[in-house]
Amino acid sequence: MSELTYEGIVNAVLEYYDTNSSIFNRVVTGQASQAEVYNAFSYIPQAEYVRTISGATMGIDFKQGFVNQYPAPISDIVGGMDSNAGSASYSSGSFYGNIPGDFSTSQGGELVPSAGARVPTSTPGVYNTLATIADKLSLGVTGISIGAKLGKAIDGALYNLAPEWWDEHLPTINPDTWVDIAGGNPLGEAFIRGLFGIKSDGSAVTAYIDERVLAYYYQLLRDSGAWATGAKELVVDNPVYGNYTLRSGIRYIEPSFIAAYSNYEQTPVLHQCTATSGHFDVVVAGRQTGSYPGIQWLFLSKEPYSYQTTLNSPSSLPGTGNPTFITVNGKPIYYHTTTSYDSNFPNYDLDSIINPNPYPLNQFVTPTASGYEYRELYYILLYQSEVTSQSALDGVTDMTGATQYPPTNITGTTTDQVLNQLKTQYPDLFADGITQGVLQEDGSIIDYNYIPIPYPTDIDPQTISPTTPSDTQQDNTDVDPQTVPRIVTDGGTQDPPTDPPDTGTGTATPPALPTGSASSLWAVYNPTQAELNSFGSWLWSSDFVEQLKKLFNDPMQAIIGVHKVFAAPPTGGSQNIKCGYLDSGVSAAVVTGQYVTVDCGTVKLSEQFGNVFDYSPHTKVSVYLPFIGVVSLDIDDVMRASINIKYGVDVITGACLAMITVTRDGGGGILYSYGGSCAVHYPISSGSYTGIISAALTAATGIIGTAVSGNPMSAVGGIASGIKQAHTNVQKSGGFTGASGACGPKKPYLIISRPQTRLENNYEHFDGIPANYTTTLAECSGFVKCKVTHLEIGGAYSEEKSEIESLLFSGILI
């Protein structure tokens, strides 16, 4: 085994070139340049160079065929069986090495490939290695991830502007830069290369993107108005506090605003109130009516402040003040109110300021607050509401509690300028970055710096127009390892298909019978034979008849049905059998449930021959099911399996369902189910007797008819065409009614028909056993017959080679 250094690349080339190739010779003798090494990788089918739109190489992806593990669970990634993993290794023939993800050069100029990506340490020039997997992310998924990193949530309103907003706008910001940082080709869809770094214990995965991509997206969001201040609104989380409920429709007003009104010709200031220290958290206004109509202003803050007001009226003087302090529910509230009277500003359309909320402040809540303190109103507005800041870009809002990164000094017009300004102003955005050196076609190495981003684990990475799934995504850069994108396998060459595991998986959901006791509309009893006789005697006694005459025309109206069911019903206690309102005095068990399950047990069907004879078409299996008949099973389903039969029985109707559960290799379920009737109905009136006989006759006809249609003589005619056709399926039973089924066995059994074999003595030596196996003949002994040969025998004439092939096809002894 060897680490994948330059020597490792030599061996990799060896796998794909014979010793006479010029490229191999150059690589082996150390004459190969780094560009030639790049070229050598391009000939490896499972290695794919991922390129930017402009053609530069942004990474090497190794597909699943490059390693011998398929598919690789997260533990194998960490353990070293996947591309770019920290200790990723693979074997190809006699070669063993690490899969390169990062390239650098030594002091001597030698190419040094390493696995994964470089993680800086506190010591300059010293790095740790991080296992990584690469994937192609859509521009939209990258957008919401970067948005989350910048404290912005993206919702569907963005896509009302354009359904593919990211794809439309990104290429236009800086086209020359875009083709250098986005993957893809000029004709196809662009993507962003995402790296997923895996922690050494496999517990979490962090998503990374190129830092230039962050800068590019930042520029787009900035120029589109994501940080431009739009309208603010008061969003009420909980309008109820105590006995008061906040009215809807209250409009938030900027703490310090200047209103200009065209119908007031002199001074465009209506009322101005600014915080000279501290700030206002909430400002609302209400309409004051009555003798002194005007606008009531309410200023609220969670912290102390001082304010200054200006009334632009010759009769009023500017003033300063401090708010009133109260506590509600233990929370501090600072507030003050002022009023702008209509008399001061008779020509102002005051309602236009507070419209659509015309209420005075005390009527902001219901029931109406009284007194000069509206404590509940203040508490709801301050602590159960929030002021949201809408950006000028639809669909982009601030995440709750997220750190914001406004473009205060981010004024660059190129991506590099924006990147440098971001690094200066917001260095935390670039913390915990990793680096991948990528070998280029000309032999140079370009370092790509990746930074962590939050990643939406429940979104397809190819989604074009995604929305931010979580409002708290900003700090969540840990990705559930189970959702880590796999190495893409679309396109490119993979290993030839291999045999999948020989065992199946999965378990079917077991059935659950409905529950519930017998309806109160009828009574269900489970009498013994003696109890039934006693009940019959009472039924036909003169006392009963006299009483029943008052209730029914026909005594049998009191009896709904009598039948025998061949499954023990669930019973609970005993009580006297009642007919209508009449008590028979005959005690019988009461049926408490309608459905019951009968487990017939489990049998194991094992191979007898240990070869093809155990399976179709040689071995056949059928099963006799009480009250249903003989049904065929597929031997390929049940051989080597445990077979369980359960009957679900409806004791009231007699309907039954036989469920055959087949379990093999630790998994399985109900593979067969057949319905029938396991009730024998007894005649309690001439009409019911006629119906019972009719049903029995119909079933009997069905049995005969079935036998005729399944004419076994047709099987005889098939014998001449081959021995296998002589064993055609023969109907082994017809349909059963409950009455006919009662005449048959009550326990199921398997019927297995096996062949009588006649293998020749020592057949392995004369004929061999089927193999379908690739090897060299040196590994074989005894009789061998080949079906494909690759003969490379020096010195043999073509006629001799043909004869050798012919002998191998007919079989030789080794």
Interface positions, 506-535, toward other proteins (CB under 8 A): 520-529, 532, 535
Does residue 69 sit in helix, strand or coil? coil
- Choose between 283 and 623: whose C-beta lies nearer to other proteins: 623
| Contact between 755 and other proteins per CB under 8 A | yes
Choice from 346, 743, 758, 761 touching other proteins (CB under 8 A): 758
Amino acid code (one letter) for 591? V
Q: Are 370 and 362 in contact (CB under 8 A)?
A: yes
Choice from 252, 359, 450, 566 touching other proteins (CB under 8 A): 566
- Choose between 126 and 521: whose C-beta lies nearer to other proteins: 521
- Choose between 261 and 613: whose C-beta lies nearer to other proteins: 613
Choice from 516, 601, 667, 712 touching other proteins (CB under 8 A): 601
Q: How many residues bind other proteins (CB under 8 A)?
A: 121
Cβ at position 537, least distance to other proteins in Å = 14
Q: Single out the segment in contact with other proteins by CB under 8 A; choices: 199-207, 391-399, 420-428, 782-790.
A: 782-790
d(CA 639, CA 634): 9
Choice from 612, 693, 704, 730 touching other proteins (CB under 8 A): 612
Vertex 755 angle, CA 754 and 757, to 5°: 140
Binding flags for other proteins, 657-686, as an x/- string (CB under 8 A):
---------------------xxx------
- Choose between 236 and 562: whose C-beta lies nearer to other proteins: 562
DSSP 462-477: T-SS-----TT-TT--
Q: Single out the segment in contact with other proteins by CB under 8 A; choices: 117-125, 255-263, 328-336, 771-779.
A: 771-779
Smallest CA-to-CA distance from 109 within 2, 56, 34 is with 34
Six-digit token pair at 498? 């291999």
Beta-carbon contacts of residue 283 (< 8 Å; ≥ 6 apart): 252, 253, 254, 255, 297, 298, 299, 300
Q: Are 436 and 446 in contact (CB under 8 A)?
A: no
| Contact between 779 and other proteins per CB under 8 A | yes
Does residue 408 sit in helix, strand or coil? coil
Q: Single out the segment in contact with other proteins by CB under 8 A; choices: 35-43, 151-159, 423-431, 566-574.
A: 566-574
| Contact between 767 and other proteins per CB under 8 A | yes
Alpha helices in 359-456 (DSSP H): 375-383, 415-425
Read off the DSSP letter of residue 291: S
Cβ at position 681, least distance to other proteins in Å = 10
| Rg of the chain taking only CA atoms, in angstroms | 43
Cβ at position 734, least distance to other proteins in Å = 19
How many CA within 13 A on the CB side of residue 189? 14
Q: Are 281 and 301 in contact (CB under 8 A)?
A: yes
Cβ at position 667, least distance to other proteins in Å = 20
Q: Which residue shows structure tokens 């598919």?
A: 71
| Contact between 546 and other proteins per CB under 8 A | no
Choice from 88, 651, 659, 692 touching other proteins (CB under 8 A): 651
Cβ at position 69, least distance to other proteins in Å = 24
Choice from 157, 568, 693, 716 touching other proteins (CB under 8 A): 568
Q: Are 435 and 449 in contact (CB under 8 A)?
A: yes
| Contact between 548 and other proteins per CB under 8 A | no
C-beta atoms surrounding 105 within 10 Å: 14
- Choose between 401 and 768: whose C-beta lies nearer to other proteins: 768
Cβ at position 649, least distance to other proteins in Å = 8
Beta-strand (E) ranges in 141-227?
Answer: 152-154, 192-198, 205-210
Choice from 506, 599, 708, 743 touching other proteins (CB under 8 A): 599
Choice from 187, 431, 512, 769 touching other proteins (CB under 8 A): 769
| Contact between 544 and other proteins per CB under 8 A | no
Applying the rule CB under 8 A, the residues between 393 and 412 that interact with other proteins are none
| Contact between 130 and other proteins per CB under 8 A | no
| Contact between 615 and other proteins per CB under 8 A | yes
Going by DSSP bridges, is the β-strand pair 102-105/434-439 parallel, antiparallel, or unpaired? unpaired
| Contact between 35 and other proteins per CB under 8 A | no
| Contact between 567 and other proteins per CB under 8 A | yes
| Contact between 279 and other proteins per CB under 8 A | no
Bin 184: left if φ > 0, else alpha if -120 < ψ < 50, else beta.
left
Does residue 7 sit in helix, strand or coil? helix
C-beta atoms surrounding 750 within 10 Å: 14
Six-digit token pair at 806? 């012919």
d(CA 183, CA 142): 13
| Contact between 392 and other proteins per CB under 8 A | no
Positive/negative CA dihedral, 178, 183, 185, 191: negative
| Contact between 504 and other proteins per CB under 8 A | no
Choice from 58, 170, 605, 657 touching other proteins (CB under 8 A): 605
Choice from 67, 600, 633, 699 touching other proteins (CB under 8 A): 600
Amino acid code (one letter) for 317? L
Choice from 282, 369, 393, 652 touching other proteins (CB under 8 A): 652
| Contact between 497 and other proteins per CB under 8 A | no
| Contact between 1 and other proteins per CB under 8 A | no
d(CA 468, CA 461): 13
Cβ at position 96, least distance to other proteins in Å = 23
Choice from 77, 565, 659, 671 touching other proteins (CB under 8 A): 565
Applying the rule CB under 8 A, the residues between 795 and 814 that interact with other proteins are 795-797, 799-800, 803-804, 807-814
| Contact between 773 and other proteins per CB under 8 A | yes
d(CA 614, CA 754): 8
What is the C-alpha end-to-end distance of the chain, expressed in Å? 34
| Contact between 627 and other proteins per CB under 8 A | yes
| Contact between 570 and other proteins per CB under 8 A | no
- CA separation (Å) from 474 to 111, 431, 467, 468, 470? 38, 14, 14, 10, 9
Cβ at position 627, least distance to other proteins in Å = 7
d(CA 690, CA 638): 43
Q: Which residue shows structure tokens 């002998």?
A: 807
| Contact between 611 and other proteins per CB under 8 A | yes
Binding flags for other proteins, 689-728, as an x/- string (CB under 8 A):
----------------------------------x--xx-
Q: Single out the segment in contact with other proteins by CB under 8 A; choices: 294-302, 333-341, 483-491, 760-768.
A: 760-768
Burial grade of 204 (CB within 10 A; 0-12, 13-18, 19 or more): middle
DSSP 215-258: HHHHHHHHHTTSSSEEEEEEEES--EETTEEEPS------SS--
Cβ at position 601, least distance to other proteins in Å = 4
| Contact between 557 and other proteins per CB under 8 A | yes
